[in-house]
Amino acid sequence: MRTGIRTMAVGVALLSGALSGCATNLENLISSPKVELRDVQVMGLGFKNQTFLLSFDVSNPNPFPIPVNYVSYGIRLDGHRFASGETPSQFSVPAGGNGQFAISVDLNLLQTAPQLLTIVRQSVREQVTYELEGELGVDIPLTPPLSYRSTGSIRLSSDAF
Protein backbone atom coordinates (compact mmCIF):
# COMPACT_ATOMS: atom_id res chain seq x y z
CA MET A 1 0.00 0.00 0.00
CA ARG A 2 2.79 2.44 0.94
CA THR A 3 4.70 1.54 -2.22
CA GLY A 4 1.67 2.51 -4.34
CA ILE A 5 1.39 5.89 -2.63
CA ARG A 6 5.12 6.55 -3.06
CA THR A 7 4.96 5.54 -6.70
CA MET A 8 2.00 7.86 -7.27
CA ALA A 9 3.78 10.74 -5.45
CA VAL A 10 6.91 10.25 -7.57
CA GLY A 11 4.76 10.15 -10.72
CA VAL A 12 2.98 13.39 -9.79
CA ALA A 13 6.32 15.07 -9.00
CA LEU A 14 7.79 13.97 -12.35
CA LEU A 15 4.70 15.12 -14.25
CA SER A 16 4.77 18.51 -12.49
CA GLY A 17 8.44 18.92 -13.31
CA ALA A 18 7.88 17.97 -16.93
CA LEU A 19 5.00 20.43 -17.29
CA SER A 20 6.93 23.30 -15.71
CA GLY A 21 9.87 22.41 -17.93
CA CYS A 22 7.59 22.62 -20.97
CA ALA A 23 6.41 26.08 -19.93
CA THR A 24 10.00 27.25 -19.52
CA ASN A 25 10.96 25.74 -22.87
CA LEU A 26 7.97 27.35 -24.60
CA GLU A 27 8.90 30.70 -23.08
CA ASN A 28 12.39 30.36 -24.56
CA LEU A 29 11.14 29.11 -27.94
CA ILE A 30 8.64 31.90 -28.63
CA SER A 31 10.03 35.27 -29.65
CA SER A 32 8.10 38.36 -28.64
CA PRO A 33 6.37 40.12 -31.51
CA LYS A 34 7.20 43.68 -32.49
CA VAL A 35 4.26 46.02 -31.80
CA GLU A 36 4.21 49.63 -33.01
CA LEU A 37 1.66 52.41 -32.67
CA ARG A 38 0.56 53.17 -36.25
CA ASP A 39 -2.16 55.76 -35.74
CA VAL A 40 -4.08 57.67 -33.08
CA GLN A 41 -7.34 58.96 -34.45
CA VAL A 42 -9.67 61.32 -32.63
CA MET A 43 -13.12 59.77 -33.02
CA GLY A 44 -15.14 62.11 -30.82
CA LEU A 45 -14.64 65.20 -28.74
CA GLY A 46 -16.81 66.35 -25.90
CA PHE A 47 -16.34 68.53 -22.88
CA LYS A 48 -16.17 65.54 -20.53
CA ASN A 49 -14.96 62.69 -22.75
CA GLN A 50 -12.79 62.21 -25.79
CA THR A 51 -12.73 58.98 -27.80
CA PHE A 52 -9.58 57.85 -29.57
CA LEU A 53 -9.01 54.89 -31.89
CA LEU A 54 -5.49 53.51 -31.40
CA SER A 55 -4.21 51.40 -34.30
CA PHE A 56 -1.22 49.07 -34.00
CA ASP A 57 0.99 47.04 -36.34
CA VAL A 58 2.28 43.66 -35.16
CA SER A 59 5.18 41.66 -36.65
CA ASN A 60 5.51 37.98 -35.76
CA PRO A 61 9.11 36.69 -35.96
CA ASN A 62 8.03 33.11 -35.17
CA PRO A 63 7.60 30.26 -37.71
CA PHE A 64 4.03 29.68 -36.45
CA PRO A 65 0.97 31.92 -36.08
CA ILE A 66 0.29 33.72 -32.80
CA PRO A 67 -3.39 33.64 -31.78
CA VAL A 68 -4.03 36.62 -29.48
CA ASN A 69 -6.89 36.66 -26.96
CA TYR A 70 -6.13 39.88 -25.04
CA VAL A 71 -3.95 42.96 -25.25
CA SER A 72 -2.59 45.01 -22.36
CA TYR A 73 -1.03 48.35 -23.21
CA GLY A 74 0.50 51.48 -21.79
CA ILE A 75 1.15 54.52 -23.99
CA ARG A 76 3.06 57.67 -23.20
CA LEU A 77 3.01 60.72 -25.50
CA ASP A 78 5.91 63.13 -25.18
CA GLY A 79 6.77 61.49 -21.84
CA HIS A 80 3.25 61.82 -20.35
CA ARG A 81 0.91 58.91 -19.64
CA PHE A 82 -1.77 58.94 -22.33
CA ALA A 83 -3.66 55.66 -21.98
CA SER A 84 -3.31 52.23 -20.44
CA GLY A 85 -5.49 49.21 -19.98
CA GLU A 86 -6.30 45.69 -21.01
CA THR A 87 -8.89 44.61 -23.52
CA PRO A 88 -10.07 41.27 -24.91
CA SER A 89 -9.03 40.83 -28.53
CA GLN A 90 -9.38 37.98 -30.96
CA PHE A 91 -6.91 38.08 -33.83
CA SER A 92 -4.04 36.02 -35.15
CA VAL A 93 -0.71 37.18 -36.52
CA PRO A 94 0.49 34.85 -39.30
CA ALA A 95 3.77 32.96 -39.08
CA GLY A 96 6.62 35.28 -40.05
CA GLY A 97 4.00 37.86 -41.02
CA ASN A 98 2.27 41.03 -39.98
CA GLY A 99 -1.09 41.91 -38.51
CA GLN A 100 -3.01 44.85 -37.17
CA PHE A 101 -5.39 45.57 -34.33
CA ALA A 102 -7.20 48.62 -32.98
CA ILE A 103 -8.43 49.67 -29.55
CA SER A 104 -11.05 52.31 -28.78
CA VAL A 105 -10.16 54.40 -25.71
CA ASP A 106 -12.35 56.91 -23.86
CA LEU A 107 -10.45 59.57 -21.89
CA ASN A 108 -11.18 62.68 -19.92
CA LEU A 109 -8.18 64.82 -20.79
CA LEU A 110 -9.30 67.71 -18.58
CA GLN A 111 -9.14 65.47 -15.50
CA THR A 112 -6.13 63.33 -16.35
CA ALA A 113 -3.61 66.04 -17.17
CA PRO A 114 -4.00 69.53 -18.66
CA GLN A 115 -0.53 69.28 -20.27
CA LEU A 116 -1.71 66.14 -22.08
CA LEU A 117 -4.46 68.13 -23.81
CA THR A 118 -1.78 70.49 -25.13
CA ILE A 119 0.29 67.51 -26.35
CA VAL A 120 -2.76 66.00 -28.08
CA ARG A 121 -3.47 69.32 -29.85
CA GLN A 122 0.20 69.68 -30.78
CA SER A 123 0.34 66.16 -32.22
CA VAL A 124 -2.34 67.05 -34.79
CA ARG A 125 0.08 69.57 -36.33
CA GLU A 126 3.42 67.84 -35.72
CA GLN A 127 4.74 64.47 -34.63
CA VAL A 128 5.26 63.69 -30.96
CA THR A 129 7.26 60.86 -29.46
CA TYR A 130 5.51 57.83 -28.02
CA GLU A 131 6.53 54.98 -25.76
CA LEU A 132 4.51 51.79 -25.93
CA GLU A 133 4.67 48.71 -23.74
CA GLY A 134 2.41 45.85 -22.83
CA GLU A 135 1.61 42.19 -23.32
CA LEU A 136 -0.22 40.02 -25.79
CA GLY A 137 -2.11 37.16 -24.17
CA VAL A 138 -1.74 34.20 -26.50
CA ASP A 139 -4.00 31.21 -26.96
CA ILE A 140 -1.18 28.64 -26.89
CA PRO A 141 -1.28 26.17 -23.98
CA LEU A 142 1.31 26.74 -21.23
CA THR A 143 2.53 29.95 -22.89
CA PRO A 144 2.87 33.09 -20.76
CA PRO A 145 1.85 36.48 -22.19
CA LEU A 146 4.34 37.89 -24.69
CA SER A 147 5.78 41.29 -23.72
CA TYR A 148 6.44 44.09 -26.15
CA ARG A 149 8.01 47.53 -25.98
CA SER A 150 8.65 50.14 -28.66
CA THR A 151 9.23 53.84 -29.21
CA GLY A 152 8.64 56.13 -32.15
CA SER A 153 6.81 59.25 -33.20
CA ILE A 154 3.22 59.76 -34.26
CA ARG A 155 0.82 62.44 -35.41
CA LEU A 156 -2.86 62.29 -34.50
CA SER A 157 -5.40 62.02 -37.30
CA SER A 158 -8.31 64.39 -36.84
CA ASP A 159 -10.36 67.16 -38.34
CA ALA A 160 -11.75 67.91 -34.89
CA PHE A 161 -9.13 70.42 -33.73
pLDDT single digits (tens) 35-53: 999 998 888 877 778 888 9
* Other Cβ atoms within 10 Å of 3 Cβ, number: 7
Provide the domain limits for residue 55: 31-157
What is the pTM for the complete model shown? 0.75
Same domain, 135 and 103: yes
132 contacts 36 by C-beta, under 8 angstroms:
yes
Same domain, 3 and 71: no
Total domains, the chain: 2
Q: Kindly give the residue spans of alpha helices, DSSP state H, lying in 30-154.
A: 109-112, 114-125
pLDDT band of 82, cuts 50, 70, 90: confident
Same domain, 51 and 110: yes
Same domain, 65 and 141: yes
pLDDT band of 27, cuts 50, 70, 90: low
Same domain, 66 and 17: no
